[in-house]
Amino acid sequence: MIKQKISRTGLLILYALISFSIYSQDLKDKRLEIYISGGALLSGKVQGSYEADYNPDSTVTIKNKVSPLIRLVADYQLTPKLSVGINMNYAKFNIKDILYKGESMKTGNEVSLGVWDGREHIIPLDDIKMLELNTSIKWRFFLNEKMVLKPCLYLGYRKTFSGSPDAREKGMVLNYNVEYQYYIKAKYFIMADFGIISQPYGGVSHVAHVRSFGVPYFSVGYGISL
């Protein structure tokens, strides 16, 4: 009786190991992954300055609200554990406040930066949209036959759109995140990720330099592996 139980247990373990090996190999053989996800930019800080060295006397701090985010991602596996890809992020960048030396500059739904060049320069608080186009490198770790973890690094380009020319900004993107994937079928998976978007260099032409070192975000989505 004991021998039969041990035999059955051994067979179950062997079956599980074989299944895991086949399933994992099947995932490793797939080259292309595409997914779309939705989530939110969380509260963070961005700096804007009239001077390239971000002198405190000429720098403001922009605090953003939680804002909706959409991500589209395509990855190509170079090896079972390494991939490169492209990514698009689109978000509505809602501003909570703009501070100068700790004091709010907000008046209604906008902030006045002052008058020069014959006009008043305005930053709207609820009329900025952000688009990013990025390349990526990702590492892939199999947690089990259905779960995958991916640390990722992104490098790319960001542009903002607004009714105010003073909020139309361009910059270099340096983002990083961790993705979690769960395969519900051999080809299809659900995913979640948490990351940081940053902009080490950029600005609004003839108005200000702009940089950020950490606006967090999260998203959840659905994808296919081919």
Cα–Cα distance between 183 and 190 in angstroms, integer? 6
Judgement on whether residues 133 and 215 belong to the same structural domain of the protein: yes
**Tens digit of pLDDT for each residue in 24-79?**
455 556 689 999 999 999 999 999 998 999 999 999 999 999 999 999 999 999 99
Give yes or no: residues 104 and 172 share one domain: yes
| Tally of domains in the chain | 2
> Do both 47 and 135 map to the same domain?
yes
Are 168 and 137 in the same domain?
yes
Burial 75-106 (b: 16+ CB within 10 A, else e): bebeeeeebebebebebbbbbebbbeeeeebe
Task: Based on the fold, state whether residues 133 and 206 are members of the same structural domain.
Answer: yes
Contact 193, 177 (CB under 8 A): yes
User: Do residues 97 and 8 both lie within one domain?
Assistant: no
For residue 217, how many other CB atoms are within 10 A of its CB? 22
* CATH code for the domain of 72: 2.40.160.20
> DSSP string of 116-185?
ETTEEEEEESS-EEEEEEEEEEEE-EESSSSEEEEEEEEEEEEEEEESSGGG--EEEEEEEEEEEEEESS
Q: Is the pLDDT of residue 19 over 70?
A: no
Q: What are 149-208's pLDDT values in tens digits?
A: 999 999 999 999 999 999 999 999 999 999 999 999 888 999 999 999 999 999 998 889
Domain with 3, as residue range(s), is 1-30
7 and 40 part of one domain: no
User: 14 with 102, same domain?
Assistant: no
Same domain, 142 and 200: yes
Residues 25, 86, single domain; the answer is no
